[in-house]
Amino acid sequence: MVKKYLLSILCLSFVINLFSQKQSERFAEITNPNLVHINKMPAHASFVSYSKMTDAQNFVRANDLENYIFLNGVWKYHYVNNFDDRLQNDFYKFSFNDNNWSDINVPGNWEFQGFGTPIYVNATYEFTSWGFPPYWDRPNPPLVPKELNATGTYRKEFEIPAEWEGKDIILSFDGIKGASYFYLNEEFLGMSKDSKLPVRFDITEKAKIGKNILAIQVHRWSDATYLECQDFWRVSGIERDVYIYARPKVHISDFFAKAILDENYENGLLDLTVKINNLENDKSTYKLNYQLFDDKNKKVAEETKELSFVDNVAEINFLKTIQKVKKWSAEEPNLYTLILEIKNENNESIEISTKKIGFRTVELKNKQLLVNGKPILIKGVNIHEHSEKTGHYVNEELMRKDFELFRKYNVNTARTAHYPQPELFYQLADEYGIYVIDEANIESHGMGYSLQVGGCLANNLEFLESHLHRTIGMFERDKNHPSVIIWSLGNEAGNGYNMYQTYLW
């Protein structure tokens, strides 16, 4: 009896120590600004993967394509108010019973659906405004409280069709507020902290045909909170679209269509670089074709090149001059249609993508901002992502209403105050003719602007990686949009070494 009793105590002690270790490991991760993500795919330009040319030519929306499945809708949800009370075991397993969990709409912030408290503050941090003892009356980066650091846990069951067998499968969260941990089919996928850029994972090896279980755990506050001190409602959860999509093993991974004007501002100069991945591990020959059409659907450029892969990656470049190009500006937002197509050695189409691009040159000359060689007058607004019903989730109808009001009241510029907007926003800016000042998700207003030790985070090397990651991610996603005429490194974030590094990049 004594031996059994001692063994029980030892086992209980082991379990308690293991529980404490898991708690401290997770908290160490969400308060480590050098750890900006785990396993997230590299940032790339926004585009859609098509399997049919007619769909690409008609710019069919992703949610109407067979190779995209949107996971928006009702999810199962569990909420706790404090970090230490969060679920830690089994919630990501098939066998877990979530019948007694609440329902929650995705996208949508949980505070707008009856869970926790939305907090509005301007220049301070949420937890310093609430005055937690003993030292939360002042910021203490990169630490955050565990008290009232709400944690939301989500689960979603979905089906993958048999037609996706043998393809690459990608999971995308276009925006999720809070330090987020992702699990698929009982396996850990990764982690992310930046709330306003896509979080994408290659789930090919973990996804399966038929039933799949996706689980996400979101912590409201982390070291990332120190860089997201914007003057708006501080809320949490899955804020933008969630979807999976299938693509062929040979596919476009990124492209950069630099479309500017010559020195006389008459002809267009297209400098197109495309990256292609080949995961087939075969010796087949592949080629890439690009076509460029004007607004009258007249083809103005086309070229095909054979692909040469090194370590399963090919990077190919095209240069073309477009005579008497129709320029893009707020007054005349002329757009061209770029179509990219991968073909195999039998001239069969493997993958297609398309993008609306515009030719324009932006310069600073003699202390003036010029677009296409002419001074422009900025008549601008700042825009926040906000809906009275859903929080920070804004649907297309509301977004288009903003653009209609811009045009009606002679607004020609929008600054994405103070973080990148959803991808659709930039497509609409290209279409409506709205200049965009694209701003990185960096605001550390609550730290002030002192360059002394413990002062602004722009001069705190512990946050260098976070500054770079957010700026690079914004640029890589939005680089093909003619509407973006200025890149902003952040707002009310001070100055220092970290800002110099992002500027130099």
CA 396 to chain centre: 17
Q: How many CA atoms lie within 13 A of 314 on its CB side?
A: 19
Q: Please, what's the b/e burial string for 471-491 (b: 16 or more CB within 10 A of its CB; e: otherwise)?
A: bbbbbbbbbbbbbbbebbbbb
Rounded to whole angstroms, the Cα distance separating 275 from 281 reads 17
Residue carrying structure tokens 């999720």: 176
Rounded to whole angstroms, the Cα distance separating 186 from 9 reads 30
**Where does the pLDDT of residue 12 fall: very low under 50, low under 70, confident under 90, or very high at 90 and above?**
very low
Rounded to whole angstroms, the Cα distance separating 12 from 436 reads 58
| 180-237 pLDDT tens trace | 999 999 999 999 999 999 999 999 999 999 999 999 999 999 999 999 999 999 999 9
Q: What percent of the chain has pLDDT over 70?
A: 93
Q: Can you tell me the mean pLDDT for 260-269?
A: 98
| pLDDT the model gives residue 226 | 97
| pLDDT the model gives residue 131 | 56
Rounded to whole angstroms, the Cα distance separating 231 from 226 reads 13
Asked if 214 contacts 57 with a C-beta cutoff of 8 angstroms, the reply is no
Q: Residue 116's CB: how many other CB atoms inside 10 A?
A: 21
Q: What is the DSSP string of 15-34?
A: HHHHHHHHHHHHHHHHT-TT
Q: What is the DSSP string of 311-344?
A: TTEEEEEEEEEETT--BB-SSSB--EEEEEEEE-
Residue carrying structure tokens 């019973």: 97
Tell me how far CA of residue 126 lies from CA of 29, 163, 196, 228, in angstroms: 20, 47, 19, 11
Q: Can you tell me the mean pLDDT for 247-251?
A: 97
CA 100 to chain centre: 32
φ/ψ of 408, rounded to 5, equals -65, -40
Rounded to whole angstroms, the Cα distance separating 262 from 428 reads 26
Rounded to whole angstroms, the Cα distance separating 461 from 436 reads 30
Burial of residue 467 (number of CB atoms within 10 Å: 0-12, 13-18, 19+): buried
Helix crossing, 396-408 with 423-432: angle to 10°?
30
DSSP label at residue 458 = G
Rounded to whole angstroms, the Cα distance separating 203 from 378 reads 44
| 15-66 pLDDT tens trace | 334 434 455 799 999 999 999 999 999 999 999 999 999 999 999 999 999 9
Q: Is the confidence at residue 154, as pLDDT, over 80? A: yes
Q: Is the confidence at residue 293, as pLDDT, over 70? A: yes
Q: Can you tell me the mean pLDDT for 279-302?
A: 94
| 411-428 pLDDT tens trace | 999 999 999 999 999 999
Structure tokens at 381: 């607004």
Tell me how far CA of residue 279 lies from CA of 192, 252, 283, 310, 313, in angstroms: 26, 11, 11, 12, 9
